[in-house]
């Protein structure tokens, strides 16, 4: 039986919420045991797992009104905007700064984990396969989207430097390159979200998924 988008997303959500519940329970047990010191690593783990699980839980909550596809699309758009506009907190409270960092990294991982889910899975009944679409020509340079210098540098790095998305350990998504300058992770994820680049999901994340330009990304650099 072919899995649906709902089944896959609910399974992802259950995985992250289970980790959050386990971390919170361990922290609660530690805090209520007056015979031992507070283990600060448990606080960090509880904060990290809560930040990881939050966007998944929000999507399911939003889906009750709008449907899962629209809710997931809205969450991905909102998180992308936040990553582009939000800077690391400079509060005098170090805990607040750490929480902000965790939230931003959790948003990046959510975008990576849900990339292409809407294309790969569907909840509609199976239909006769549609005819293969005719190959679309690359957009003319004059029609390509405008990009800032920083965005163009990111695309150039993807084109020239062998950029990969890699997660050597769960929750530690990073960008690696074969050669040259390494672009910022949030910029690479944003380029993928815009359809200017694409990651190869046939390779496991722990090995490294190569990132390449789409025709739109190539056209932007050709302007």
- pLDDT (0 to 100) of residue 56: 94
Which of the pair, 86 or 162, is modelled with greater confidence?
162
In this structure, what DSSP letter does residue 176 have? E
pLDDT digits (tens, 9 = 90+) for 113-137: 888 777 776 544 444 444 555 555 5
In this structure, what DSSP letter does residue 164 have? E
* CA-wise closest residue to 182 among 196, 161, 155: 161
Which of the pair, 82 or 74, is modelled with greater confidence?
74
167 and 85 Cβ atoms separated by less than 8 Å: no
CA distance 222 to 201: 27
Residue spans of the domains in the chain: they are 5-120, 141-222
Residue 143 reports pLDDT greater than 80? no
- pLDDT (0 to 100) of residue 176: 92
Query: pTM of the full predicted structure?
Result: 0.52
pLDDT digits (tens, 9 = 90+) for 50-64: 999 999 999 999 999
């Amino acid at each position: 039986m072919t899995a649906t988008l709902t089944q896959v997303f609910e399974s992802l959500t259950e995985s992250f919420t289970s980790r959050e519940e386990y971390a919170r329970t361990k922290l609660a047990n530690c805090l209520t045991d007056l015979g031992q010191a507070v283990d600060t690593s448990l606080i960090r783990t509880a904060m990290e797992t809560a930040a990881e699980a939050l966007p998944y839980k929000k999507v399911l909550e939003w889906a009750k009104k709008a449907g899962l596809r629209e809710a997931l699309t809205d969450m991905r758009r909102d998180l992308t905007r936040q990553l582009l506009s939000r800077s690391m907190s400079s509060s005098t409270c170090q805990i607040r700064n750490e929480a902000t960092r965790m939230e931003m990294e959790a948003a990046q991982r959510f975008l990576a984990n849900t990339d292409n889910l809407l294309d790969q899975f569907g909840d509609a009944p199976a239909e006769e396969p549609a005819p293969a679409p005719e190959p679309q020509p690359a957009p003319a340079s004059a029609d390509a989207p405008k990009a800032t210098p920083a965005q163009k540098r990111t695309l150039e790095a993807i084109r020239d430097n062998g950029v990969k998305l890699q997660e050597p350990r769960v929750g530690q998504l990073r960008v690696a390159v074969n050669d040259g300058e390494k672009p910022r992770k949030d910029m690479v994820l944003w380029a993928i979200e815009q359809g200017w680049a694409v990651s190869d999901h046939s390779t496991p994340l722990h090995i490294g998924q190569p990132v390449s330009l789409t025709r739109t990304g190539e056209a932007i650099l050709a302007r």
